[in-house]
Amino acid sequence: MTASMTHVIGVDLGGTKTAAGVVAPSGEVLMSETIPTLNRAGGEAILDATAALIAGLVERAADAGISVSGVGIGSAGVIDAVSGSVVSATDAIHGWAGTALVAGLSARLSLPASAVRAVNDVHAHALGEAWLGAAAGSSSSLMVAFGTGVGGSFVLDGAPVLGHRFVGGHVGHFASPFAVFSGLPLACVCGGSGHVEAIASGPAIHEAFLRFGGYSVDAPDTRGVFTLAASVSDAHDGGADADSAGSRAAAVRAISVGAAAAGQAVGGLINILDPETVVVSGGLADAGELWWKPMEAALRKELLAPLISVPVVRATLGNTAAIVGAAKLVLK
Ligand SMILES: [Zn+2]
């Protein structure tokens, strides 16, 4: 029997779930599976579960006559892409910091360590979009994701720019003039204050809604803020009471401020990096024109004149972006 072309496994290891797929050299995801990330169980338990997930896919691939030659992982946290270990991570995954990700998986899977590679999940996501998604064909691309947090990656000539200490891409953590309230900078999840993430992330939009006088009963979470704001443009009956009208106004304001902060931040990064293509992704980018329009308007307003025609596009690969990006790390 002729050996099939080399396939690899791509893994997207996030705070709540871990998805993996068998990826063809073309980037096609042939089979995939998702498990919950054991985010309270510690690094070794997560490695056990992830190795079992991968081994199951390798077996399914073998049944289909496909051999797997390597494993690429995009993982939450700051990942040392040389040693393959987790430099630091938030408590979203308890005990993840310090885990020997590549060594632990290669030992469990009996693969040579050189056949396993890992980067941060946002870098994997951006690499996927740069390879096969919204930035395919561009020699450089900046991807920024706005969701539970704010992160990004600059992909240059097919490789994400990781930085000397692998911290590169933390685009949620620089100053935004929007991240203030009553003259004081807003606290950021990183421990700093006044950062982009403190005003432009999904949770930050809900917090802004409450600061602007919205009632949590009208919008208990970020999704609720968007539903409430969308109802403004639909409502023509004028029958709402004063309190819920106040909540609606707060919802519209929170989204427009968060979107403007996001757009200004991305615009500034474009001025610095001059990427061929800009990809905006994450839950907020998928929330529709209510967020996208003010985001893009603020972004365009920020650009230096020679950059005004830079393409700014939505991510296109969805949940498979990080899987194919991670696979690309080990595909020859
Ligand atoms: Zn911060």
Q: pLDDT digits over 3-12, tens only?
A: 556 899 999 9
Angle 101-109/43-63 helices, nearest 10 degrees? 40
Q: Residue 202 has what DSSP assignment?
A: H
- Is the per-residue pLDDT at 1 higher than 50? no
Is the same domain home to 114 and 216?
no
User: What is the structure's pLDDT at 234?
Assistant: 55
Look up residue 75 and give its two tokens: 């993982």
Main-chain dihedrals φ then ψ at residue 86, nearest 5 degrees: -85, 110
- Chain position carrying tokens 């891409």: 169
- Chain position carrying tokens 């208990």: 220
User: What is the structure's pLDDT at 312?
Assistant: 98
Is the same domain home to 125 and 202?
no
Ligand 1 mean position, distance from CA 186 (Å): 10
Is the same domain home to 225 and 308?
yes
CB atoms near residue 239 (< 10 Å): 6
Ligand 1 mean position, distance from CA 155 (Å): 22
Ligand 1 mean position, distance from CA 259 (Å): 17
Is the same domain home to 239 and 199?
yes
Question: Is 157 inside a domain boundary?
Answer: yes
What is the spatial distance between Cα 151 and Cα 168, in angstroms, rounded to a whole number? 10
Q: How many domains does the chain have?
A: 2
Ligand 1 mean position, distance from CA 286 (Å): 23
pLDDT tens, residue by residue, 163-176:
999 999 999 999 99
Ligand 1 mean position, distance from CA 191 (Å): 6
Ligand 1 mean position, distance from CA 31 (Å): 37
What is the spatial distance between Cα 289 and Cα 299, in angstroms, rounded to a whole number? 14
CB atoms near residue 169 (< 10 Å): 24
For 103, counting Cβ atoms within 10 Å of its Cβ (0-12 exposed, 13-18 middle, 19+ buried), the class is middle
Question: Is 296 inside a domain boundary?
Answer: yes
Is 244 in a helix, a strand, or coil? helix
What is the spatial distance between Cα 229 and Cα 250, in angstroms, rounded to a whole number? 8
User: What is the structure's pLDDT at 47?
Assistant: 98
User: What is the structure's pLDDT at 243?
Assistant: 72
User: What is the structure's pLDDT at 313?
Assistant: 98
Question: Is 256 inside a domain boundary?
Answer: yes
Query: Using 50, 70 and 90 to split pLDDT, how confident is the model at 332?
Result: confident
User: What is the structure's pLDDT at 235?
Assistant: 53
Query: Using 50, 70 and 90 to split pLDDT, how confident is the model at 192?
Result: very high
Closest CA to 196 of 162, 173, 225, 214: 173
Is the same domain home to 124 and 52?
yes
Main-chain dihedrals φ then ψ at residue 31, nearest 5 degrees: -150, 145
Ligand 1 mean position, distance from CA 194 (Å): 7
Ligand 1 mean position, distance from CA 166 (Å): 17
Ligand 1 mean position, distance from CA 177 (Å): 13
In the chain, DSSP finds a helix count (H) and a strand count (E) of 9, 14
Question: Is 261 inside a domain boundary?
Answer: yes
Question: Is 216 inside a domain boundary?
Answer: yes
Is the same domain home to 98 and 144?
no
Question: Is 280 inside a domain boundary?
Answer: yes
Look up residue 202 and give its two tokens: 């999904």
Report strand pairing: 140-146 vs 85-88: unpaired
What average pLDDT does this structure show over 112-126? 97
Ligand 1 mean position, distance from CA 149 (Å): 10
Closest CA to 196 of 90, 58, 299, 119: 299
Ligand 1 mean position, distance from CA 151 (Å): 11
Ligand 1 mean position, distance from CA 188 (Å): 5
Question: Is 1 inside a domain boundary?
Answer: no
User: What is the structure's pLDDT at 2?
Assistant: 45
Q: Where in the sequence is the domain holding 30, given as residue range(s)?
A: 7-133+319-330
Ligand 1 mean position, distance from CA 202 (Å): 14
Average pLDDT, the chain: 95
Ligand 1 mean position, distance from CA 199 (Å): 10
Domain containing residue 198: CATH number: 3.30.420.40
Ligand 1 mean position, distance from CA 187 (Å): 8
Ligand 1 mean position, distance from CA 108 (Å): 36
User: What is the structure's pLDDT at 236?
Assistant: 53
User: How far, rounded to the nearest angstrom, does the alpha carbon of residue 190 sit from its chain's CA centroid?
Assistant: 16
pLDDT tens, residue by residue, 229-265:
999 655 555 555 667 899 999 999 999 999 999 999 9
C-alpha separations of 196 from 48, 93, 186, 220, 303 in Å:
36, 23, 10, 22, 17
Ligand 1 mean position, distance from CA 323 (Å): 27
Ligand 1 mean position, distance from CA 129 (Å): 25
Half-sphere exposure of 144 (CA within 13 A, CB side): 30
Is the same domain home to 79 and 188?
no
Ligand 1 mean position, distance from CA 164 (Å): 20
Ligand 1 mean position, distance from CA 95 (Å): 21
The number of residues making up the chain comes to: 332
Is the same domain home to 214 and 78?
no
Is the same domain home to 148 and 259?
yes
Ligand 1 mean position, distance from CA 150 (Å): 9
Cβ atoms of 94 and 40 closer than 8 Å: yes
Is the same domain home to 264 and 154?
yes
Ligand 1 mean position, distance from CA 10 (Å): 29
Query: Using 50, 70 and 90 to split pLDDT, how confident is the model at 190?
Result: very high
Question: Is 283 inside a domain boundary?
Answer: yes
Cβ atoms of 93 and 15 closer than 8 Å: yes
Is the same domain home to 326 and 188?
no
65 membership: H or E segment, kind and range: none
What is the spatial distance between Cα 154 and Cα 112, in angstroms, rounded to a whole number? 29
Amino acid in the structure at residue 33: E
Ligand 1 mean position, distance from CA 192 (Å): 5
Cβ atoms of 71 and 104 closer than 8 Å: no
Is the same domain home to 34 and 144?
no
